[in-house]
Structure 1
Amino acid sequence: MYLPLRAISVFHAAASSGSISRAAAELNVTPSAVSQQIQSLETHLGTALMTKVGRGVALTEAGERYFAMISEEIDRIADATQRIRGLRSVTLLTVRATPTLSTKFLLPRLRSFLDGHPDLEVRLNGTNEMTDFAQEAVDIEIRHGTGQWPGVYVEALTEESFLPVCSPAYCAPSSLDAADLQRHRLIYSIKSQVQWPHWFSVARAAPLDPGQRVLFDRSHMAIDAAVDGMGIALESTLMMWRELRDGTLICPVREPPAIRLTTQWIVCPFEHLHKKKVILFLDWLRAERAAWQSAS
């Protein structure tokens, strides 16, 4: 039976990248050549595999099924080819996440993923900029926000608790009532979804007097400032898990109100969920999430 292997490999490249132009650059051919190969494969199969969405492309239902069926086999063929050539097969995984999540949660854990998957190279892009998957070569994003993004796969990373924290040299644990915080310098993370006025309202304390305060536009800066004894920060237990574990941050408030919220979300195009490298990363990330939840 005749198999259009060239067209199959071109389709795999386009489906993996989610872009005709990126597949063309990867294969060192023109975008029109990629389109022609895909059209040839669609004719051979008798069904449409891809459709245009904005500036990019998306898989049809048949395309998703076909990609899922061939992807693992093509990865195995590519790996076997590299091994016969005497080369180590290396695949680049690009992950985008907020600066704080990158610094405080992913980076301390990343070695275990790298050690477990030596054939993967990881590029960790720490930014608050939202990914345009049709234009950017990003495999998966962990996005800060409310989780309301249509047209892409969205999964909650985990629920976080927000606590006032400071260095144990600044205040002793459980030594303050909520109203006492008015007398201290408060550290603000201005992009956080939980702010000090809301915390005081939930704690049923007097309305917040601006008083002494210092403001940062990144949560990891607010966390580090609290560790350095600059004042009291209001932060997520997900972001400061290591500081809480090591005792460099403590909660100075007796019986702080419970404020729980999900602010970090796993986001990617649905077709990326078929990529082996994305599957491996998500499996690892979910295991790390479960370990953190258990320890918490």
Structure 2
Amino acid sequence: MQIPFRAIIVFHAVARAGSISRAADELRVTPSAVSQQIQALELHLGTALTSRVGRNITLTEAGERYFEMISREIEHVADVTQHVRGIRSATTLTVRAAPSVSSKWLLPRLAGFVNANPDIELRLDGTNEPTDFRKENVDLEIRHGEGSWPGLFVESLGKERFFPLCAPSSFAAGSLSAADLLKYRLIHSVKSQMQWPRWFAEAGLEPVERWKRVLFDRSHMAIDAAVDGLGIGLDSELLAWRELRDGRLVCPVKNPPEVTLTTQWIVCPHGHLRHRKTRTFLDWLRGERDAWSAQHTVQIV
């Protein structure tokens, strides 16, 4: 029996893209031609592989199983073909992460991933807007939020400790009480999930009605401002780990309350986990997360 290889390749492209039109663009054919190939494959197999939901294409249970069984083989054939042609296979991986976690946590670690995976071409998209995976070509996202996004794969980047931070030239580590902070200029990161009123409540204090403050739209700006001596910031050990490690920031409060929160999440559609490039990056990311969690970056006085 003749195997419809062309139709199988077209089905793989549709399942990966989640859209007939996007698959058609990738294969450089018309959407009608893609639909015909899918119908031919379904006729050959004797079962429906896809179904329409509005303008979107979803896989049936049989389609999900079939895609899972053929994906690795097709990727392997593509890699071998590139090798035989005498060129290195380059697969683009697009990762989206907000500017603060990109610059403060992810970028300092990326050399390890890039050097270990020369066949993967990494694109880092530093954007705050949540990804619409149905419309945007993003493989995986590190998303700031509360971790509730139904229908998506969601995994924590790690629990974060939040505490006051300042340059050692401003105040020595452990030289202030929590109540002393109200006398000084406080740096606010306005989009952070952890705000000064919540931290003061954990410390058993009521914030004053009017206080000296300066506000920033991004956590990485607030951290840099604290390093520059502009005031006392409130941020997480995850984002400020390098400044704390290098001694450019210290916690000026003696015995601060233990305030923890999870604000960064690894997010993608479940189907993306079938792709080798996504699995490779996710495994690397988990290793970096676990190594960071095992470290005690700063000892609070």
- Shorter-chain TM-score category? over 0.9
Q: Is the 8 A contact 2:100 2:218 kept in 1?
A: yes
Aligned pairs, how many?
296
TM-superposed CA distance for 1:197, in Å, is 0.8
Write out aligned runs for 1:180-219 (5 A): 180-219=180-219
Equivalent-residue separation in structure 1 for 2:56 and 2:102 (angstroms):
28
Task: Tell me the TM-score normalised to structure 2 length.
Answer: 0.95
Q: Is the 8 A contact 1:18 1:271 kept in 2?
A: no
Distance 1:55 1:269, change over 3 A: farther
Partner of residue 74, structure 1: 74
- Specify every segment of 5 or more residues in structure 1 that has no aligned partner in the other structure, as ranges: none
Matched, 1:170 2:170: yes
Q: Is the 8 A contact 2:182 2:207 kept in 1?
A: no
Partner of residue 264, structure 1: 264
1:85 is matched by which residue type in structure 2? R
Write out aligned runs for 1:147-296 (5 A): 147-296=147-296
Equivalent-residue separation in structure 2 for 1:153 and 1:194 (angstroms):
24
Q: Is the 8 A contact 1:197 1:208 kept in 2?
A: no
TM-superposed CA distance for 1:54, in Å, is 4.6
Equivalent-residue separation in structure 2 for 1:125 and 1:48 (angstroms):
37
Equivalent-residue separation in structure 1 for 2:51 and 2:95 (angstroms):
26
Measured against aligned partners, the alpha-carbon deviations of 1:129-161 in whole angstroms (never above 9, x if no partner) come to 111111111111111111111121111221111
Give the secondary structure class of the aligned counterpart of 1:260.
strand
Write out aligned runs for 1:45-60 (5 A): 45-60=45-60
- Specify every segment of 5 or more residues in structure 2 that has no aligned partner in the other structure, as ranges: 297-301
- CA RMSD, Structure 1 to Structure 2 (Å): 1.3
Write out aligned runs for 1:5-44 (5 A): 5-44=5-44
TM-superposed CA distance for 1:163, in Å, is 1.0
Percent of pairs identical after alignment?
A: 64
Give the secondary structure class of the aligned counterpart of 2:267.
strand
Matched, 1:112 2:112: yes
Give the secondary structure class of the aligned counterpart of 1:239.
helix
Q: Which runs of 4+ in 1 moved over 4 A?
A: none
Equivalent-residue separation in structure 1 for 2:116 and 2:53 (angstroms):
36
Measured against aligned partners, the alpha-carbon deviations of 1:218-276 in whole angstroms (never above 9, x if no partner) come to 00000111111111111011111111111111100011111111111111111111011
TM-superposed CA distance for 1:38, in Å, is 1.8
Measured against aligned partners, the alpha-carbon deviations of 1:16-72 in whole angstroms (never above 9, x if no partner) come to 222222211111111222222122222222222223345433323222222221111
Measured against aligned partners, the alpha-carbon deviations of 1:153-199 in whole angstroms (never above 9, x if no partner) come to 11122111111101111110000000000111100000000100111
Equivalent-residue separation in structure 2 for 1:178 and 1:92 (angstroms):
48
Task: Tell me the TM-score normalised to structure 1 length.
Answer: 0.96
Partner of residue 102, structure 1: 102
